[in-house]
Amino acid sequence: MNVPDISVYYFGAISLILIGLYAVLVKKNLLKMLVGLSIMETGVNLLLISVGYVSGKSAPILSEGIGPKGAVDPIPQALVLTAIVIGVATTAMALSAAIILYERYGTLNVEEIRRLRG
Amino acid sequence: MLKRSLAIITILIIGYWLAQSLAGVPFGEDKMLVGQYYLDHVKDQTGAVNAVTAIVVNYRGFDTLGEVTVLFIASTGVGALLWRKRKKRTAKTEGSVVLTTGSELLFPFVVLFGSYIFIHGHLTPGGGFPGGATIATAFLLLYMAFVSYEIPHKAFEKTEGLAGMGYVLVGLTGLAIGGYFLFDWIWQTWQWGTGNIGRLFSGGFIPIIYTLIGIKVGTELSGIIDNMLKEEVRE
C-alpha cells in the first residue's frame, strides 16, 4: 500500500473533509456536529478551488497585463461561490432546528433526543 | 473508545481512497476546456472583465437563480421554524459607550463598502453575495451593539421580495427580446456600454442583476439574524 503522491492543497482539503466527517460520526453534541458539517463544506470548497488552479497564472479578472491566457480556470470559482451560499443557507436552517430542539428537550445531546414531543 | 477507533479507521480508508483518486488529477496544470472559451470571449460576449461574475450571472445564470431561491427558502424556513406569537430581543446588558458609538459610526461605512462591492461586481472581485453579506454584517453590528435595535420589518421584507422579482423580470425581459430566459438584452440587443469595457457603465445586465442580488441577500441575512436573536416572552 503505497502512499499516493498528491499536492498539499488536495491533502489539506481531504483532511478538512475527513475531520468534519469524524466530528459528524463521533460527537454527541448537536452543535459540534454542525461545526463538523461546516468544516466539511470548507474542505469541499477548497478542493474545488484547488482543482482549478493553474500554476503561475493569476485571478480571472482580465485587466492590463492579464489576458485570457494568463488567468486560472474561472469555472470552479463560480461553482464555489454557489456552494458557499448554499452552505450558509443550510447552516442557518440547521441552527434554527437546533434552537427548537433545545427548547423542546432541554438538551443538545443526540442520544437523549429520542421521541418526538409535542 | 471502540466507536472512535472504528470511526478513525473508516475515515483513514476513505481518505486513502480519495487521495488515490485525486492522484490522477494533476495539480497546477492547465485542465481548462470550457474555461478557456469563457476567458477568451468574456469581454466581447458579456462586457465584464471579471470572468467569475460573468459566468455566475451571464453564462450560468440559472445557477444563480437557483442559489437565490435556496437562500430565500432558507430565510423563509428559519422564519417558519422560529415563529412565535410574541417575540422580543432578550439581550439584557447594555454595551459600553465605546461599542455603541463605534458601531453607529461604522455602520454607514460598512453599508457603503457593501454597496461598492455589489455595484462593481463586473470589474472587481466580489459581486452580489459578498456585498449582500457585508451589508448584513452592518445590521448584525447594530443588533450586537444595541439592546433594543430591530430592523424595519415591513420595508425589509417587501424589498427582499421586490429584488427577487426584479431578477426574474430582467430574465423575462430577455425572454421577450432575445428568445430565451436570462438573455443579456442590454448588451446583445441595445449594445449599451460596448464602447467602455472595464468602466462602471458596461457589463450588460450584470451590474443590475448583482445590485438586485446584493439587496436581496443583505435583507435576507439580516432577517435570519433577526429571527435567531429573538425569543418568546413568557409572562
The grid coordinates listed for B62 are 440559472
Check if A89 contacts B (Cβ < 8 Å).
yes
Tell me the nearest-neighbour CA distance from A18 into chain B, angstroms.
Answer: 6
Greater pLDDT, B91 or A103: A103
B129/A85 CB distance under 8 A: yes
pLDDT band at B60 (very low <50, low <70, confident <90, very high): confident
Greater pLDDT, B104 or B202: B104
Rounded to an integer, what distance in angstroms lies between the CA atom of residue B167 and that of residue B128?
Answer: 12
CB < 8 Å to A3, chain B? 19
For residue A89, what is the domain's CATH number? Answer: 1.10.287.3510
Domain range enclosing A101: 6-54+73-116
Residue B184: predicted pLDDT: 78
Tell me, yes or no, whether A39 lies in a domain: yes
Residue A87: predicted pLDDT: 92
Tell me the nearest-neighbour CA distance from B49 into chain A, angstroms.
Answer: 5
Tell me, yes or no, whether A67 lies in a domain: no
Span B95-102, mean pLDDT? 89
Task: Give this complex's ipTM.
Answer: 0.85
- How many Cα atoms are found within 13 Å in the side-chain-facing hemisphere of B163? 24
Give the DSSP letter string of B69-94.
HHHHHHHHHHHHHT--SSEEE---SP
8-state DSSP, A56 = T
A82/B63 CB distance under 8 A: yes
B67/A62 CB distance under 8 A: no
Check if A55 contacts B (Cβ < 8 Å).
yes
Give the DSSP letter string of B94-155.
PPPHHHHHHHHHHHHHHHHHHHHHHHTTTTSS--HHHHHHHHHHHHHHHHHH-SS----HHH
Tell me, yes or no, whether A20 lies in a domain: yes
B14/A21 CB distance under 8 A: yes
Tell me, yes or no, whether A65 lies in a domain: no
Residue A5: predicted pLDDT: 79
CB A40 within 8 A of CB A17: yes
Tell me, yes or no, whether A60 lies in a domain: no
Most confident of the following: A41-55, A65-79, B18-32, B193-207: A41-55
CB < 8 Å to B127, chain A? 81
The grid coordinates listed for B102 are 463605534
Domain boundaries defined on chain B: 35-232
CB < 8 Å to B221, chain A? 88
**Res B218 pLDDT > 90:** yes
Considering only the beta carbons, identify the residue of B11, B43, B123 that sits closest to A21.
B11
What element of type H or E holds B187? helix B185-188
CB < 8 Å to A6, chain B? 19, 22-23, 27
Rounded to an integer, what distance in angstroms lies between the CA atom of residue B100 and that of residue B220?
Answer: 24
CB A111 within 8 A of CB A33: no
Span B160-175, mean pLDDT? 89
**Res B87 pLDDT > 90:** no
Query: How many domains does the structure of chain A reveal?
Result: 1
Greater pLDDT, B87 or B135: B135
Tell me, yes or no, whether A64 lies in a domain: no
What element of type H or E holds B39? helix B34-46
Greater pLDDT, A83 or A6: A83
**How much of chain A, in percent, has pLDDT values that exceed 70?**
93
Tell me the nearest-neighbour CA distance from A38 into chain B, angstroms.
Answer: 16
Considering only the beta carbons, identify the residue of A6, A10, A85 that sits closest to B67.
A85
Chain A's closest residue to B232, CA to CA, is A103
B81/A21 CB distance under 8 A: no
CB < 8 Å to A99, chain B? 81-82, 228
A89/B55 CB distance under 8 A: no
| Strand partners of residue B230 | B89
pLDDT band at B104 (very low <50, low <70, confident <90, very high): very high
